[in-house]
Amino acid sequence: MIRVLNILLVCTSICMLVGVYALKYSVEDVAAEKVTLQHTIERQKADLSLLKADWAYLNQPANVAPVVNRHLVALNLQILSQDQFGSLDILPMRLKAPDANALNSLFQSLNSGVDPIQQIISESN
Amino acid sequence: MVALDAGSLPIAVDGARKLRGGLTTARIRWVIAVLLLLFAAICGRLVQLGMVVQDTSIEGKARDIITATRPAILDRNGLELAVDVRVPSLFAEPRRIIDVDEAAAAVHSVLPDLSIDWLKQRLTGDKGFVWIKRELTPAIEDKIMQLGIPGLDFLTESKRFYPGGNEAAHIVGAVNIDNQGIAGMEKAMDDEDVALLQQVGLARGNELAPVNLSIDLRVQHVMHDVLTDALSRYRAAAAAGAMMDIKTGEILGLVSLPDFDPNNPGSALQKDTFNRMTAGIYELGSTMKSVTIAGALDSGKVKITDTFDARFGVRFGRFTITDFHGKNRILTLPEVYKFSSNVGAIHIMQQWGKENFRAFLHKMQFDVPEPLELPERRNPVVPKTFSDIVAATASFGHGLSVSPIAMLRAMGAFANNGVMVRPTMYKTSLADAEKTYQQVISPQTSAEMRYIMRLNANEGSGSRMNMLAQGYRAGGKTGTAEKVVNGRYDTSKVLSLFASVFPLDNPRYAMMILVDDPHTEPGQGGHTAGWNAGEATGRIIARVAPMLGISPNFDPMLDNNLVPPELR
């Protein structure tokens, strides 16, 4: 009886020994993995902060303005002057129905070879 | 058996069983004793391990403080003024380094600017931690890691980066290598709470909420751009300016040139880079006439319809004070402002009373340091009591030195129905700002002030400003203060100022521009304030107003509505 019990106990302790060692090694693996992950996260956070700083730099008026100035001529950019502002209430209201007479006279003058709109444009130039 | 051999002696034989029993008890005692000793040793060791204090400090500073972050500083629209960049810093543990020569040579191969001798000396010894080089790049970190030298490692530090460079230098200030604020808002924030957060270790990682300043980076850029242009255009020694929202007290832009690059804090130590707007005090010249007239009108002792005799100078003993642009006739009150008559201002002040004038200066807080959060501040110099001559010169801005921010605040109050607000560098809601409101003049006086400010822009010394900022209903007052050189006023060296408010039909923004020692622009008329500070103001308003949602309006009714009923 006692012998059986002893054998059983020895077997259990061997099993537990193996189990504990396995656990120890797996914990070590997990810990190592955790350190690697933490390092990666730290690294990526650092990269992210650099990218954010890059973006902040590129987005600054101090950085954009020289780019604009460099391409002023190529893009024919001009500074908005005060008389170029308008508001909605200075626009005329839309007509309820097309002005038949005006359209007729427009088509007549077009048929006779005179373009009144072109005339306005050339006069304003 | 021994007993049997002994023969005659009485035989006293213990039983074998009993004998063995005694032996077993002794053995068990021994085992228990050994076990107890063993456990005591283990417990002792545990206690010993528990007592070990790990040295986490780095060269005398706590590790947390070194790796601590600072909150990002944003402008009012969320654009970054200052951000934290996480950078690797190389350190060594000399006691773990096996071959010093090899390690030094290897580090030198990656970082050639460190001398081998210095490295050897640094890596020898029994220390647990020495810095090799701080704030490196990830690429260099990779190279050094590949060398595979034991005892070298990296610590991720936070480094401050200012993407705008010089542009907002005086606002953000700078930090030192340990990430502590040494100037500007960085220092102000440290003095408030960031330093405490770092100390208790709450400032690790990127957890701190970003701080929104009141600055509008677009306005800041335009001001910086125009003032840089003014510096070269008028060959001036310095230029500075600030703009404030007069409803909330928020400073939208603050520039002082020459400035420095906060990414390289050493450049802040160069001469003349101090913040002129807050750390400078000046004789503000004729811009003070706004204060004199506002106070006098508000007292009721002077009316906007009153006239003042400016035909002759005012004599004080040996001195006679005359006008720069002398009209030599009787002037109405708006004309005194428009022609910037010193004599007229003196008469206005005298009719009002010099004690009242001094008391009004205190009410407008010209004699206390301005309450802006920036730590660079200086006490104004205003005489405690005014003698006749001091009061006379003070009425046109000489003999007292105050901060330009005080004038900015006063101009805002004069335009904003007489309500003075506390200026701030932090983004503020109108409700919070209203708690700091202080009624300094009556709404009626404020309406009269708006009229004379606009009049000065339409017809007076502000006309050059108005020409550039047409349609934005700006108005204000010029000031040309002669500078004191070797104890005497020098007419050739002046400080030009322009204090303005726009749009005057619904006032919202006040601005103060200062140009130090300007010269006449080739082909232009002069070096008084209207030609330089005034023009710079006009250029800034023309560019900034559309960004702030103010559209130009050329309706003459707007100006007519400003005229007080008595003068219609």
Q: In the block, which residue shows the tokens 């002129």? A: B276
- Segment B481-496 shows an average pLDDT of 84
| A67 close to B (CB below 8 A) | no
| A85 close to B (CB below 8 A) | yes
Q: In the block, which residue shows the tokens 């996260």? A: A41
Amino acid at position B348, single letter: I
Of A42, A57, A61, the CB nearest to B218: A61
- The residue of chain B with its CA nearest to that of A66 is B225
Instruction: Determine, for residues B163 and A50 on separate chains, whether the beta-carbon distance falls below 8 Å.
Output: no
Per-residue DSSP letter, B336: H
| Confidence bin at B293 (pLDDT 50/70/90) | very high
Tell me how close the Cα of A85 comes to any Cα of chain B, in angstroms: 7
| Confidence bin at B568 (pLDDT 50/70/90) | confident
- Segment B47-60 shows an average pLDDT of 75
Query: Count of domains in chain A?
Result: 1
Q: In the block, which residue shows the tokens 């992210």? A: A48
pLDDT in tens, B256-290: 989 999 988 777 777 788 899 998 899 998 999 99
Note whether residue A65 is domain-resident.
yes
pLDDT in tens, B317-335: 888 888 876 778 899 999 9
| A68 close to B (CB below 8 A) | no
A102: its two tokens: 């005006």
| Confidence bin at B3 (pLDDT 50/70/90) | very low
Percent of chain B with pLDDT over 70: 92
Cβ–Cβ contacts within 10 Å for residue B468, how many?
A: 19
- Segment B299-303 shows an average pLDDT of 92
Distance CA B481, CA B396 (A): 9
Distance CA A105, CA B480 (A): 64
Contacts of B493 (CB under 8 A, 6+ apart): B482, B483, B485, B517
CA–centroid distance for A94 within its chain:
39
For A122, phi and psi rounded to 5 degrees? -70, -30
Q: In the block, which residue shows the tokens 């005359």? A: B322
Instruction: Determine, for residues B85 and A53 on separate chains, whether the beta-carbon distance falls below 8 Å.
Output: yes
- The residue of chain A with its CA nearest to that of B136 is A46
In terms of Cα–Cα distance, which of B79, B381, B423 is closest to B251? B423
The answer to whether B440 and B364 have CB atoms below 8 angstroms apart is yes
Note whether residue A30 is domain-resident.
yes
Distance CA B479, CA B288 (A): 8
Residue B138 is predicted with a pLDDT of 77
Residue A114 is predicted with a pLDDT of 82
Per-residue DSSP letter, B472: S
Residue B518 is predicted with a pLDDT of 92
Residue B63 is predicted with a pLDDT of 61
Amino acid at position B384, single letter: K
Burial letters B203-220, b for 16+ CB under 10 A, else e: bbebebeebbbbbbbbbb
Of B86, B221, B472, the CB nearest to A61: B221
In terms of Cα–Cα distance, which of B503, B508, B511, B509 is closest to B551? B503
Q: In the block, which residue shows the tokens 């007419």? A: B491
B292: left (phi over 0), alpha (psi -120 to 50) or beta: alpha
Which sequence spans correspond to the domains of chain B? 62-212, 219-567
Tell me the DSSP string of B216-238: -HHHHHHHHHHHHHHHHHTT-SE
In terms of Cα–Cα distance, which of B143, B91, B156 is closest to B112? B143
B272: its two tokens: 């003349």
Residue B55 is predicted with a pLDDT of 64
Distance CA B154, CA B66 (A): 13
The answer to whether B427 and B78 have CB atoms below 8 angstroms apart is no
Instruction: Determine, for residues A82 and B470 on separate chains, whether the beta-carbon distance falls below 8 Å.
Output: yes
Per-residue DSSP letter, A93: P
Domain that holds residue A64: 20-75
pLDDT at B191 over 60: yes
pLDDT at B10 over 70: no
Instruction: Determine, for residues A60 and B551 on separate chains, whether the beta-carbon distance falls below 8 Å.
Output: no
Distance CA B254, CA B168 (A): 8
Half-sphere exposure of residue B16, counting CA atoms within 13 Å on the CB side? 1
- Segment B81-108 shows an average pLDDT of 87
Please state the pTM of the whole predicted model.
0.80
- Segment B346-365 shows an average pLDDT of 93
pLDDT in tens, B200-211: 555 554 457 888
Distance CA B435, CA B567 (A): 35
Name the CA dihedral angle for B405, B408, B414, B416, rounded to a multiple of 10 degrees: -110
Query: B527: exposed, middle or buried (C-beta count within 10 Å: 0-12, 13-18, 19+)?
Result: buried
Alpha helices by DSSP H, A1-125: 2-59, 61-70, 100-111, 116-124
B residues 76-135 near A, CB within 8 Å?
Answer: 79-80, 83-88
How high does pLDDT run on average in chain B?
87
In terms of Cα–Cα distance, which of B439, B402, B403 is closest to B421? B439
pLDDT at B4 over 80: no
Which CATH number is associated with domain B219-567?
Answer: 3.40.710.10
Residue B62 is predicted with a pLDDT of 57
pLDDT in tens, B385-410: 999 899 999 999 998 999 999 999 99
Residue B1 is predicted with a pLDDT of 46
Instruction: Determine, for residues B79 and A56 on separate chains, whether the beta-carbon distance falls below 8 Å.
Output: yes
Which CATH number is associated with domain B62-212?
Answer: 3.90.1310.10
Query: B113: exposed, middle or buried (C-beta count within 10 Å: 0-12, 13-18, 19+)?
Result: exposed
| A60 close to B (CB below 8 A) | yes
**CA quadruple B185, B191, B196, B201: dihedral sign:** positive
- The residue of chain A with its CA nearest to that of B222 is A61
Distance CA B151, CA B144 (A): 12
pLDDT in tens, B128-140: 788 888 888 878 8
Tell me how close the Cα of B468 comes to any Cα of chain A, in angstroms: 10
CA–centroid distance for B144 within its chain:
39
pLDDT at B65 over 70: no
Note whether residue A27 is domain-resident.
yes
Residue B356 is predicted with a pLDDT of 93
Percent of chain B with pLDDT over 90: 47
ipTM above 0.85, yes or no: no
pLDDT per residue rounded down to tens, chain A (125 residues):
889 999 999 999 999 999 999 999 999 999 999 999 988 888 888 888 889 889 999 989 989 989 998 998 998 888 788 888 887 877 888 777 888 888 888 888 888 888 888 888 887 76
B244: its two tokens: 């404030």
Which residues from chain B sit within 8 angstroms of residue A87, using beta carbons? 551
B residues 160-199 near A, CB within 8 Å?
Answer: 161, 163-167
Note whether residue A119 is domain-resident.
no
Residue B543 is predicted with a pLDDT of 92
CA–centroid distance for B420 within its chain:
22
B199: its two tokens: 């100390």
Note whether residue A40 is domain-resident.
yes
| A89 close to B (CB below 8 A) | no
The answer to whether B165 and A62 have CB atoms below 8 angstroms apart is yes
Which residues from chain A sit within 8 angstroms of residue B262, using beta carbons? none
Query: A51: exposed, middle or buried (C-beta count within 10 Å: 0-12, 13-18, 19+)?
Result: exposed
